[in-house]
Amino acid sequence: MTKVEYSKGLEGVVAAESAICRIDGQAGELYYRGYPISELARKASFEEVIYLLLYGDLPTKSEYEGFHLRVRTQRDIKPEILEMVKGFPRDTHPMELLQSSIAYLSSYIDHKIHHGPNCHCTSTLHQVTQLATVVAAFHRIKNGKDYVPPRKDLSFGANFLYMLKGEEPTKLDGDIMDAAFILHAEHHFNASTFTARVVASTKSTCYSSISAAIGALYGSLHGGANERVMNMVHEVGTPDNAKAWVENALKEKQKIMGMGHRVYRAKDPRAVIMEEFLETLSKEKGDDSSYQILKTIEEVVGAHMKEKGKDVYPNVDFFSGAVYDLLGIPKSLFTPIFASSRVAGWLAHVLEQREDNRIYRPTAIYTGPEGKHVTALEERS
C-alpha cells in the first residue's frame, strides 16, 4: 500500500479564511478584528468586545447605548431554566450543566427565526449573556444559597461577581473580571472554535454549534489548564519551597502546567496582562504568595529551558487561575468562566462560517484489515 502523508490533528492545515482573529506567534501578539488585545483589555468593556466580534468593529457611542441595553436586559434566565439548574445533580461538573442549558435555552426560542443558515443569533444574544448567569446560579444553589438575579447597572464582569457572591464587588475586582472575559473571548481556530464551525457547516443551529463547542472545551487537553496550575501552586505551598519544588519536578521530567503554548513562541500577550492583574490584586488583597510562587516557577523553568536552547514562556492559564482565586472564585468554575467568555468568539465564528459555507468533510487513511469474508455464525470459532 502506498504511504500517504497526512497531518495528525490537522496541525498546519489551513481549513478556512477568517477575519475575526489573528495571532502572531513569533511576536507574541493577538488581535481581535485588527485591534491588539493589549488595548482591548485595558480600554474597552467586554460588552464592546462582544459587539466587535459579532459586528466587525467597535461600536460608536449610539450603537453601544442600544447594544449595551440589549445585552443587560437579556442577562436574567427564565424560571424554567432556573428550575433546570436547581434540579441538576449537585456533584455534576458545571460544564455538563452549561452544555445542557444551551440546548434548554434553544427550546424557548422561536425556531422559525433561529434555525438554519438564516438564523439571526444576534437578535437575542441569550447564549452570550446567560451562560455566566447559569454558572453563578448553579454555584450558589449547589452551596445551598439563593439565586441572585443580575443587575443592569453593572458591567459584565462586575455583574458576574455580584451574582456569584451576592454582594457588589469593588471597582478593581469588577474591572479585572471584565477584562478577564475579554482576554478569553476569542483565540482563532482552537479545538472548540473549530468544533463550533464544523457543526455550523452542517446548517445546524447556533445553539447546537455552541453546545458542541462547550463539549470540546470540557476536554482536559483544552480547558482546565488554569485549574491544574492552581493545583501546582497549592502543592508548592509557599514561595520558599518554590525553587526546590520546580527543580525536583524538572529532574523528574514532570510537566509544568501553564508554561509554553502551541502557537506562541514569545510570551502570550494575555499572560502579560494577567500577570499585571495578579500583581495588582496581590497588593490590594495583601496576599502575594501565589504571585511569588508563579514568578519563581517562571524564572526557574525559563532558565532551565534556555540551557537546552529553547525559550519557554507562560501562557494565559499560568496567571489566570491565581487571579480568579484572589477574586474568590473556586477552581471548579475556571473552565465554565472560560466558556462564558469564549461563547462570544464561538458565535462570531458560527456567523462567519455561514457567510461562505461548505460542510467540513475531511478524509482519513484506512489502516484496518483487508480481504475478509463473512462465514456463517455457527462456523465462527
Mean pLDDT on 48-70: 96
Architecture per CATH, domain 19-219+331-355, reads as Orthogonal Bundle (1.10)
Tell me the C-alpha distance between 288 and 283, whole Å: 7
Exactly one of 261, 268, 325, 349 is catalytic; which is it? 261
Tell whether the model's pLDDT for residue 360 goes beyond 80: yes
Tell me the C-alpha distance between 312 and 342, whole Å: 25
Selected residue with higher pLDDT from 110 and 265: 265
Closest C-alpha among 221, 169, 173 to residue 195: 221
Tell whether the model's pLDDT for residue 112 goes beyond 60: no
pLDDT at 208: 92
Q: Give the homologous superfamily in CATH for domain 225-326.
A: Cytochrome P450-Terp, domain 2 (1.10.230.10)
Residue 21 in 3-state DSSP? strand
The mean pLDDT of the chain is 93
Lowest mean pLDDT among 48-57, 81-90, 116-125: 116-125
pLDDT at 21: 98
Tell me the C-alpha distance between 199 and 354, whole Å: 11
Helices and strands (H and E) in the chain: how many: 17, 3
pLDDT at 60: 98
Residue 146 designated active-site: no
What are the residue ranges of CATH 1.10.230.10 in the chain? 225-326
Share of the chain above pLDDT 70, in %: 96
What are the residue ranges of CATH 1.10.580.10 in the chain? 19-219+331-355
Cα distances (Å, whole numbers) of residue 31 to 23, 49, 107, 340, 344? 6, 12, 35, 20, 15
pLDDT at 167: 98
Q: Cell numbers of 33, please?
A: 478584528
Tell whether the model's pLDDT for residue 289 goes beyond 90: yes
pLDDT tens figures, 114-157: 444 455 677 778 889 999 999 999 999 999 999 999 999 999 99
pLDDT at 273: 98
Tell whether the model's pLDDT for residue 321 goes beyond 80: yes
Q: Is the pTM of this model over 0.85?
A: yes
Spatial neighbors of 147 by CB under 8 A, at least 6 apart, are: 82, 85, 137, 140, 141
Exactly one of 175, 268, 317, 325 is catalytic; which is it? 317
Cβ(192)–Cβ(167) below 8 Å: no
Amino acid identity of residue 187, one-letter, is: H
Tell whether the model's pLDDT for residue 2 goes beyond 90: no
Tell me the torsion sign for CA atoms 166, 169, 173, 177: positive
pLDDT tens figures, 60-76: 999 999 999 999 999 99
pLDDT tens figures, 181-214: 999 999 999 999 999 999 999 999 899 999 999 9
Closest C-alpha among 216, 205, 196 to residue 53: 196
pLDDT at 111: 53
pLDDT at 122: 75
Residue 115 designated active-site: no
Torsion, CA 276, CA 344, CA 149, CA 68, rounded to 10: 90
Closest C-alpha among 6, 10, 1 to residue 197: 10
pLDDT at 3: 74
Place of cell 445553539: 207
- The pLDDT-based confidence of 107 (bands split at 50, 70, 90) is confident
Phi/psi of residue 26, nearest 5 degrees: -70, -40
pLDDT at 1: 56
